Structure 1
């Protein structure tokens, strides 16, 4: 094993010569038992069987070989090179796991991590690596083994710190990127990992071009414009076949990166909801539209059918993102394995034959979304727009692969035209009558399924007549250990419940239960648990709250009927003028309108609030505003939430005053905003949010916004979080923000926003913070008496025109990287004025990022960003 790291690939590498020679030899061997090495070289070199008979295959081989020289000459060689340096002892860990895989026919489930050093150009990263994948195609070659790479110290490469290096044949070469491009061209917002072609050199050996594939995790979600959440998948726990040959599978939902998820209380609670939703869907207790994002599921299934991508529908290839705002699951493109072969691509809609997707399409709402998406795709195919985009992507992508896969062929999109034309027909007449369905000869389908619920879903902490009780049921096939139980106090401290722990730790065998009586005064507990051979995990529970306590869903029958001042018609509530008390959490039906008349004052009790699924219209005026506030006997109330729906999302807020609200802490669904708008087209004219007791005073997610005269005052933490929004904010003010825990006035993530004629005064952290690839313009605005005026971070682009910054304690302008997955930021300030010191004296720009003042670039420096966030920018946001 060579250990040199500076080896350079020749114009035509040894691998390419091997591939050409192997191809020539293959002509003689293709129709008889082949040498495994030649087969592997051919497959890794891009050869794919497009025909079903020997003579056509021979002609294909000759044609592919004839095209090899031209492909090698046209190959794009200016692509990134990654070098892995693995010491011999560490390398043997990978060798050992590969040998085990070759002997047993599968890569072992438990794999060894090896320490490695990764070089991208001259940049060095410490990393750990292991084998990736399950089947032998990942490790069948002499090199180009599939490797999982995890970069340490929160550094990132290609917008991710966790990725796989995979031989492109394992992922059908350009196929996944073409599938992804189909959804982009169609305007389908589906999460899809990117596959970047990179040259890979391992210990001096040239492994050729491989694909760098983003892992399913937080990095993928962040770069896909998603709020922090997690990815869910299924595991097989049992399989049975009855006498009729019907296959039943027992499936268990689990989250990827469980350690990260369990390390954050909010994510841990969201995990309970997600696992419950999927388990209920598998068991038939919830409809698909109640569990999944209906629009995105329909779009994904339609794209799968256009490509004949049946492989994406198998139980083990489904991946879902749990959206913490909607409490629904979105599909993620995973292992679509699309084929260019006509006999494989052309297929009756596979979604109609695979059990999970068939159950989804049985839901009328999903079926409607599917039909709309399919119609849109057909239109794009017939117009040529989609195929033109795919041809362009294929040209670029193939050239990056040719140097290592010169036998690589192209996808013929005439097949896509035929597939689209036949979908929806009766398949009774040629050429559609020749198309097969997804049968057992292709994949062993399951006929029925059930869910095995994790033990956490079968654990409860509930009130009893004599106090309260913790009940735990071990539903797994291994011993569970329950360790000490502690009381969680309101101040965050823990108290060991000594009398209860005398018999702990306690071992729970499979399919057994235990119940522990607790004092009635205990409201929240934490305990450690561990399965044999695994590290202990801490779980926290709040009395009488479970994953099913509250999930944000429309309610056909509402408590609004108890309030005579709420007039109801077939699709709306109208709240009459006057002062009214509300003692319930009111939730509307779906696609609803709520109209609130001028001069209405709604006083809510502690756990009362309003949730709208549709559109909110407050018809306040300057003289008769609409007021939402707490009742005199309450400390706060449970806030306003508005979910825009596909057909009703145009909310209009005029002269609304919201005070003393908190986010609705209902069960395990706990959003951040006291006023909370999701997926809407929102126009605001004179909205005031004051004296909130939540993480964000105003939180708007994935919406178009037109805001005039917004006033946020006395915010506990952040003033206004605008995530994945587009629009403008005018004539607004943010006063006394973050007075308890520190907070930003305006905080954007993944947004494109223009802010004009606005005032920021008394901001404890950053007056304006643009992050996660935001594009923000700030014009004719003032920041005063604040810690930091404007910060651009994480690939954001900020432009300031005519700004005034007075009495800024730390920095007027900042440009830096906080999250390495995004990269450097830019900030351009023009015609700004700072007092009492010049603007240049209070700037900070990290090397790699850019900051200019009136066209002059400010000198960048090495910045310890982590130290900044532990010091002058430290935040202690409320739980």
Structure 2
């Protein structure tokens, strides 16, 4: 056997190889550990930056939108990109002088360096020009926005103010912002909720912006607060303001307000009521429009947009008709990423919300609106209505953000949260029996939720036990019922037979508790909750007005005289029978928050008569549903409510109050701008006569109406004045009209036939995007037969189409501005040569000064 000597070289090599492998493995692990630690440090630093600086300048929001979009859209990004490039948004091209642009850029650099928001110095306008649809406008621009995200990129936000009384897209002033600062599609969707709920709302558009030839891309256009914003939604010019901290009221366009006597008077009224509200001297129902604010709060909850409650973001409108304040929705900052964790009633630190929820009547309305917005059908209907426009706007956004996805899922989640909150309220109402000393028995009822419930009545074994209406906000409130007060329950031994029916407001559901506790849900309304005078019932007795509480009717006596304004509350209809005579002495008038029924007859008409220029007015403010009916009623010598701070301009006013007039006469009114003013209402007027109207006879704003077989004689200004309305007229006779027989403005549409106009200043006028079509027209002894023009810069031209007309003794048959159109029997009439018709009207050459 040969034993070989080990090869020392191979052994050495083997040992070296093993050593090198060991070192390599150890070194790899060491490098991996170092890499891991570096990765942790890097990512921690990056995400800290995202959470800190990134939150300040908006990077975090853009990052989250980007990642969410990639996850949601993935394969759709290519399609979005193509659709975006094919979209055709409005295009704004700005030309800014080098020095002015440099001034703005220096401000941006300073803001970025100091990481501070704009101060007064940064908000000064610089001159520029803006080209839109081939027309050049002089404008002023400045930086805009209250956070750093508005200047954190090259797509900085700015305010644009159109000069020389002109407007663009119907706006005098607007913001142009990086869409990320408003969460892209979110404000448009939120605003659509408000638009569909009849709020004063802001116009949102998506536009392409170019500055000095450099394409900046898609911006979001946000209308700023001005008179056109109110008027486009059918509102009457009023004060827009923001209640800031330290009892400061910021008035928008304050200089214009102070130069207008009526607005100045309204401002004084508003401030008195505002500070009275803060000091507890004014009931919130006399300051806030409860219906509007209840809807507003419910929508904010649905949108998870409580950012709107920040005082800087709180914008209100003083409605001069109702003399109440309405909210304007803006700055919801609603994010799909944020989980909803509360609703408005939970936010105890929001001062004005706390005031509103102190009134049980408002709380009822709020929960009623919560039920509405949390129903599945509510969102389903909304999604269907806005889908086409949403898809179109999304394509515009996809030009710059093909990864962007706006999902309605968060709204559905918010709905579910609200439903759960409402459904669980009855589970947290505890009832328990308490036996105290001397064997006395009590029933304790405690509300363990943070939602309010109200106990109206307790029923023990079919015996009704009335209690004072009490709102139980939380577990600190309770009802303790002493059963010794009732003969059937004089000792504890009988407690086993007790069950309770507890009325819980706000929810349409039932819940049975232990101890056989049944909770039927139904709403209850207290009498005269909204009256402006606490002693109203005494006043009714003073004038012998009969009140039937069961039928909710108020009936006037056969003859009555008022020397003060009588107020009819909501839900109590007013009835006057044939032959009733109502006279308004100095200071007398009638304001009804319910429908009225004036049932005169041919032989025994109702007479409503004033005797001075002090008040002597009829005002009906309705709910937009119930229709007033007025038959064979004669109105004489009426004026208007004599309060400068109330925006009532008519001798008779119907606001959101549908009405039918049959066989009525309107004669000899004084002072008022309109004899009959109908606002945001449907109406029918048949077989009626207007005689000797001080100014306009009938003024209808944002209405749908029918007029048939009517006469207008000796009218001071316009006989028929329509704004934003859809009207049908038939068989109308005008004699001696001081201004226009028919005036259509602000997008009004009038169709009709059989009109006769004689001795009028102007017969038929269409202006500001209005359209008039009439068959069989006879006009004679009149200065101007047909007039069409553009008056307000936020609107377009007027159009008139006439068939089968007869004109005689006319000074100027046609006064048609270039751009507007008059067609007679399919023949187009030539316009006046490059003249502004507006500059010839209103008492300058034709018509009367308005």
Please state which band the TM-score falls in when normalised by the shorter chain. Answer: 0.7 to 0.9
Indicate whether 1:854 and 2:831 are aligned: no
Query: What are the Cα deviations for residues 596-625 of structure 1, in whole angstroms up to 9, with x where unaligned?
Result: 222222332222222222122222112211
Residue 189 of structure 1 corresponds to 198
CA shift, 1:837, in A, is 5.3
DSSP 3-state at the match of 2:64: coil
Within 5 Å, give how 1:205-224 maps onto structure 2: 205-224=214-233
RMSD across aligned C-alpha pairs, in angstroms? 3.3
Return the alpha-carbon distance in structure 2 between the equivalents of residues 274 and 560 of structure 1.
27
Look up the match of 1:863.
835
Q: CA deviation at 1:428?
A: 11
Residue 157 of structure 1 and its aligned partner are, at CA, apart by: 0.8
Partner in structure 1 of residue 125 of structure 2: 113
List alignment gaps of at least 5 residues for structure 2: 1-40, 429-448, 451-529
Partner of 1:33: 46
What is the CA distance between 1:701 and its match in structure 2? 1.4
Matching residue within 138, 142, 145 for 1:133: 145
> Are the counterparts in 2 of residues 360 and 366 from structure 1 also a CA contact under 8 Å?
yes
Tell me the distance in 1 between the aligned counterparts of 2:56 and 2:382.
33
Distance in 2 between the 1:347 and 1:266 partners? 44
Alignment of 1:642 onto 2:642? no
* Corresponding position of 1:827: 800
Query: How many angstroms does 1:270 deviate by?
Result: 1.3
Measure the CA separation in 2 of the matches of 1:588 and 1:41: 54
| SS of aligned partner of 1:337 | coil
Alignment correspondent of 2:268: 272
Shift, 1:41, TM fit: 14
Give the C-alpha shift of residue 198 in structure 1: 0.8
Q: Work out which of the residue numbers 826, 833, 845 in structure 1 matches 2:816.
A: 845
* Structure 1 pair 121–215 and aligned structure 2 pair: CA distance change class (3 A): same
Alignment of 1:231-246 (within 5 A): 231-236=240-245
Q: CA deviation at 1:665?
A: 0.8
Q: How does 1:157-556 map to 2 (within 5 A)?
A: 157-184=168-195, 187-236=196-245, 250-341=246-337, 344-353=338-347, 355=350, 356-381=352-377, 384-411=380-407, 413-426=408-421, 553=532
Q: What is the alpha-carbon distance in structure 2 between the residues aligned to residue 625 and residue 193 of structure 1?
A: 47
Measured after TM superposition, the shift of residue 572 of structure 1 is 3.6
Question: Residues 793-832 of structure 1: matches in 2 within 5 Å?
Answer: 793-810=767-784, 812-832=785-805
Give the secondary-structure state (helix, strand or coil) at the position aligned to 2:285: helix
2:159 pairs with one of 137, 148, 151: 148
Shift of 1:851: 2.3
2:637 is equivalent to residue 663 of structure 1: no
Q: Is the 8 A contact 2:294 2:362 kept in 1?
A: yes
2:746 matched to 1:772? yes
- Where does residue 98 of structure 1 map in the other structure? 108
Indicate the SS of the match to 2:80.
Answer: helix
Alpha-carbon distance change, 688 to 554 in structure 1, aligned in 2, over 3 angstroms: farther
1:89 match: 99
Q: Which has the larger Rg?
A: 2
TM-score, with length taken from structure 2: 0.76
Number of equivalenced pairs: 699
- What is the aligned counterpart of 1:49 among 53, 60, 64? 64
CA distance in 2, matches of 1:333, 1:39: 27
Q: For residues 634-685 of structure 1, what are the alpha-carbon distances to aligned partners after superposition, in whole Å with 9 as ceiling and x for unaligned?
A: 56652212222477x4221112212222111136325211112222121111
The offset of 1:40, in angstroms, is: 10
Equivalent position SS for 2:593: strand
Pairwise CA distance, 1:360: 2.7
Query: Displacement, 1:859?
Result: 2.8
Q: 1 CA distance for matches of 2:703 and 2:370?
A: 27
State the secondary structure of the residue aligned to 1:387.
helix
Among 84, 90, 93, the residue aligned to 1:80: 90
Q: Give deviations 1:169-204, integer Å, cap 9, x for gaps.
A: 1111100111123345xx411222121111111112
* Contact kept in structure 1, 2:624 and 2:658, CA below 8 Å: no
| Structure-1 residue corresponding to 2:629 | 652
Partner of 1:500: none
Alignment map for 1:63-78 (pairs within 5 Å) = 68-75=77-84, 76-78=86-88
User: What is the deviation of 1:30?
Assistant: 7.4
- Report the secondary structure of 2:111's partner residue: helix
Shift of the 583–169 alpha-carbon distance from structure 1 to 2, 3 Å rule, reads same
Aligned to 1:685: 662
Q: 2:57, 2:152 within 8 Å by CA — same for their partners in 1?
A: no
**Is the Cα–Cα contact under 8 Å of residues 69 and 403 in structure 2 kept in the other structure?**
no
Cα 1:48–1:353, aligned 2, differ >3 Å: closer, same or farther? farther
Q: Deviations over 1:530-550 (max 9, x none)?
A: xxxxxxxxxxxxxxxxxxxxx
Do 1:326 and 1:552's aligned partners in 2 also have CA atoms closer than 8 Å? no
* Cα contact 1:685–1:708 (8 A) shared by 2: yes
Shift, 1:233, TM fit: 0.8
The superposition leaves residues 30-50 of structure 1 with CA deviations (integer Å, 9 ceiling, x where unpaired) of 7643899x9799968983526
> 1-side partners of 2:130 and 2:57: how far apart?
29
Q: Structure 1 residues 783 and 590 mapped into 2: Cα distance closer, same or farther (>3 Å)?
A: same
Distance 1:46 1:65, change over 3 A: farther
Check whether the contact 1:658–1:688 (CA below 8 A) recurs between aligned residues: yes
Q: Distance in 1 between matches of 2:697 and 2:156?
A: 49
How has the CA–CA distance of structure 1 residues 414 and 117 changed in structure 2, closer, same or farther, with 3 Å as cutoff? closer
State the Cα distance separating 1:564 from its structure 2 match. Answer: 4.8
How far the C-alpha of 1:387 sits from its partner, in A, is 3.0
Equivalent residue for 2:696, pick from 678, 700, 718 = 718
Instruction: Report deviation, 1:97.
Output: 3.6
Report how far residue 107 of structure 1 moved: 0.8
Offset at residue 770 of structure 1 (A):
0.9
CA change 1:113–1:695 in 2 (3 A) is same
SS of corresponding position for 2:795? coil
Q: Report the Cα distance in structure 1 between the residues aligned to 2:540 and 2:809, rounded to whole angstroms.
A: 59
Distance 2:216 2:331 in 1: 23
Q: How far apart, CA to CA, are the structure 2 residues paired with 1:62 and 1:723?
A: 49
8 Å contact from structure 1 (residues 47, 409) kept in 2 = no
Is the contact made by 1:81 and 1:199 (CA closer than 8 Å) also made in structure 2? yes
Q: 1:163 to 1:363 in 2, by over 3 A?
A: same
Residue aligned with 2:747, SS: coil
Q: 1:876 to 1:564 in 2, by over 3 A?
A: same
Task: Report the counterpart of residue 592 of structure 2 in structure 1.
Answer: 612
Single out whichever of 859-868 and 315-324 deviates more from structure 2: 859-868
Q: Deviations over 1:128-179 (max 9, x none)?
A: 111112211111212x221111111221111111111111111111001111
TM-score for both structures, normalised by structure 1: 0.74
Shift in Å at residue 423 of structure 1? 0.8
Structure 1 residues 309, 199: closer, same or farther in 2, change over 3 A? same
Which residue is 2:8 aligned to?
none
Once residues 281 and 695 of structure 2 are traced to their aligned partners in structure 1, the CA distance between those partners, rounded to angstroms, is: 39
The answer for unaligned runs of 5 or more in structure 1 is 1-27, 51-56, 237-249, 439-550
Q: Distance in 1 between matches of 2:624 and 2:323?
A: 16
Check 1:178–1:664 CA distance in 2 against 1; reply closer, same or farther (3 A cut). same
Q: How far is 1:60 from its partner?
A: 6.6
Cα distance change of structure 1 residues 860 and 364 upon mapping to structure 2, 3 Å threshold? farther
Partner-residue secondary structure (3-state), 2:569: coil
The whole-number CA distance in structure 2 between the counterparts of 1:59 and 1:210 is 21
Deviation sequence 1:47-93 (CA, Å, 0-9, x none): 3526xxxxxx9787677787544422220431111111111233344
Residue 275 of structure 1 aligns to a residue whose secondary structure is helix
2:548 counterpart residue number: 569
**Contact 1:672–1:695 (CA<8 Å) still a contact in 2?**
yes
Maintained 8 Å contact 2:762/2:847: no
